[in-house]
A and B are shown apart, each in its own frame.
Chain A
Amino acid sequence: MASILVVDDDPDVAEAIQAILERSGFHVVVANGAEAGLDALRNQEFEIVVTDLIMPKVNGLELIRKLRVQHSRVRIIAISGGGSLGPLSLKPEAISTHAFIAAARDAGAEEVLTKPFDMDDLVAAIRRHLPN
């Protein structure tokens, strides 16, 4: 059974993702922030990390960069909040092409989902990036 780490500072979002993925048969651990996520990765192997981008203290982009260095095998799916919070460079550029998406891809995310996404899209993305 594949293990998935969900990193999001918003517990409602994290738990919803957890509920969906557990129902789809994955083992899910939730971390409410990037530091908690890194701690969890030290203790346990995960096939996939699902992370929010905008989080307090250490943001999602930094987490992705660290994961790429420390856990090069893990697959990363970023979820973007949309809107125009954060620094100007993170502002959306257009409806379909999003600065978040580009930034997350640059940092090393395999895929980027924009909130609010459909359940099926999330599960499909996870399945796409699972080894075998």
Chain B
Amino acid sequence: MNSLRFRLIGVVLVINYALAPLLYLGVSVIVQRGYAELFVNSVRSFSRLTADELEAADDRDFEESAARLLDGAMLTGQIAFAEISDGKRKFHSSIPVDVTVIPRPDDFDFGDHGDQIYYISHSVKRGSRSMFLRLGFDERPTLESITAAKRRVLLAVLSFTLASILVSIWLSAVIARPMVRLREAAKRVAGGDVHTRLQMSSTIREVQDLTHHLESMRRELVGANERLASEIREREVSELKRLELERRLLHRERIAAIGTLAGGVAHEFNNILTPILLYSQLALKDTPADSARAKDLGRIVSAAHRARSLIMRILTFSRQTDSQGVTVFPLRSTVEEALALLRAIVPTNIEIVFDAQCEEIRLSGDPSLVHQVVINLGTNAYQAMQRTGGRLLVRLWVAPVRATPEAGTESSAILEVIDTGHGIEPAALAHIFEPFFTTRDVGEGTGLGLSVVHGIVTSMGGRISVESEVGRGATFRVHFPVAAPGALAAVVEGS
């Protein structure tokens, strides 16, 4: 009942109920008065004319002419009663009347009496004689006309009321329809469908304005939603970045702690290994070469050598926290150095081949990091082959110079570490450079090696890729950007 339509219709109904009776009563009064005035005016002038004619009538046959006059008046059909009296006598019309004649003194009121007769008296002077003409006019035709007129007025008022109600129903629908549509649209927006445009179908300016404002609000909402969504996305991304940074920092810190510890332990172990190695070699010297004891001592010596290699490897690992800083360094010698170290730790059933198809190449960066790349890739390769044995091939060459839009020309050194081991599952290939990804059993690897390699190569502006087939070995290919000749000069001058 609170809807716009019902209110509009209600207001129109109330106005009609209040105004229609007033209108009817007012118009009725005017109609009645008009008819009455018309009636009174006409009967007065009629009775005046009759009185004048009586005054002017001939004396000789006065009574006859008076009777004729009265009959004439009666014959008009308007007069129900006609009488002339001079105090002693009364003349009546000879035509009978069908109303109950109750002679009364003058009565100038219209209606409102039981006899429905309007009486008028006129004094008529005839010489010395004074007479009275008394005429009674029938009010009924006029009263009937008034009643009919009132009925028409009532009909008109009722028609008008009905029409105005119908118009109000139609109008309220016209006004309410766009509002209802707007309400539905607003409901949709509130329900989450913010992307449907609001339609403007009304010709009413206020409704158009409202639609326009709502549409602006909707657009603003959509914009705000999008801004919010993109802000959330940005935050998610930055949160991921932050977590990644945190993880890397934690990783670096852990590696640094391991490095510090490893450095200290290595120092102590070197001191302990020194007498072991020296005494066993001394004892070996004193023992006949073919004896079983010489063999045992030889095993101690070789074990001590392997321990030495292991310590050097640990130091190499710990050195990543102790960066030498960026410098221009020879790549080939660095790789050779790392391979020499690798030879010390790799079992003899694995052959290491270094195939350098180029002269010395100069890279800019930290040589100890390249060292680590070779050691890590080499260690992975030999672990893939340690059960079956195999061949670790390390190839180094310079890729042909190619033009790039940014730097003009660029050449890259390509380092390939190829093994003949068990290969890598296709599913694992996609994740192989992710931190903590490992296919080894618990305790056999941290899953950090290749992610560290990836990090180092990327930090040097290079890239790394891998190809592998299960059972056919794996090939890791690293592209290092070669230092421009100018860069070398700059570093030399700077140092």
Give me the interface of A with B, judged by CB distance under 8 Å: 10, 12-13, 15-17, 19-20, 23, 54, 81-85, 91-96, 114-120, 122
Contacts and interface: CB of A to CB of B under 8 A. Distances in A.
Contacts of B94: none
Nearest to B307: A116
A117 B264 CA distance: 19
A90 B464 CA distance: 34
A16 B340 CA distance: 28
B368 A94 contact: yes
Interface stretch (B278-286, B357-365, B424-432): B278-286
A19 B270 contact: no
Given A20-B282, A82-B267, A95 B275 contact: no
B315 A119 contact: no
Interface in B437-490: none
Contact of B322 (A12, A23, A91): A91
Contacts, number: 96
A10 B315 contact: no
B287 interface: no
A10 B281 contact: no
Contacts of B263: 83-85, 91
A96 B341 CA distance: 10
B36 interface: no
A131 to B, nearest CB: 25
B348 to A, nearest CB: 20
A118 B276 CA distance: 10
B144 to A, nearest CB: 132
B311 A82 contact: yes
A13 to B, nearest CB: 5
Contacts of A20: 278, 281-282
Give the interface size bracket for B toward A. 35 or more
Contacts of B128: none
A85 B264 contact: yes
B200 interface: no
Contacts of B368: 94
26 contacts: A10-B271, A12-B271, A12-B274, A13-B275, A16-B274, A16-B279, A23-B285, A81-B270, A82-B315, A83-B265, A83-B268, A84-B264, A84-B266, A85-B263, A85-B264, A92-B319, A94-B324, A94-B337, A94-B367, A94-B368, A95-B337, A95-B341, A95-B371, A116-B273, A116-B274, A116-B278
A60 B271 CA distance: 15
B28 interface: no
Interface SS majority for chain B: helix
Contact of A116 (B285, B304, B319, B322): B304
B308 interface: yes
B299 to A, nearest CB: 16
B316 A95 contact: yes
Given A83-B263, A83-B311, A84-B318, 14 more contacts: A19-B279, A19-B282, A83-B265, A83-B267, A83-B268, A83-B315, A94-B324, A94-B367, A116-B270, A116-B276, A116-B277, A117-B277, A119-B281, A122-B278
B312 interface: yes
B274 A117 contact: yes
Contacts of A54: 267
B260 interface: yes
Contacts of A92: 315, 319
A119 B278 contact: yes
Contacts of B285: 23, 119
B261 to A, nearest CB: 10
A119 B282 contact: yes
A110 to B, nearest CB: 20
Contacts of A23: 282, 285
Interface string B282-311: 100100000000000000000010001001
A84 B285 CA distance: 33
Contacts of B367: 94
Please provide the 7 A-B residue pairs with the shortest distance between their CB atoms, ordered closest to farther.
A83-B267, A84-B263, A16-B275, A116-B273, A119-B281, A83-B266, A16-B278
B267 A13 contact: no
A46 to B, nearest CB: 20
A82 B307 CA distance: 14
B433 to A, nearest CB: 26
Nearest to B312: A95
Contacts of A85: 263-264, 267
Nearest to B318: A84
A54 B266 CA distance: 14
Contacts of A10: 271
Contacts of A82: 266-267, 270, 311-312, 315
Most B CB within 10 A of own CB, among A17, A19, A95: A95
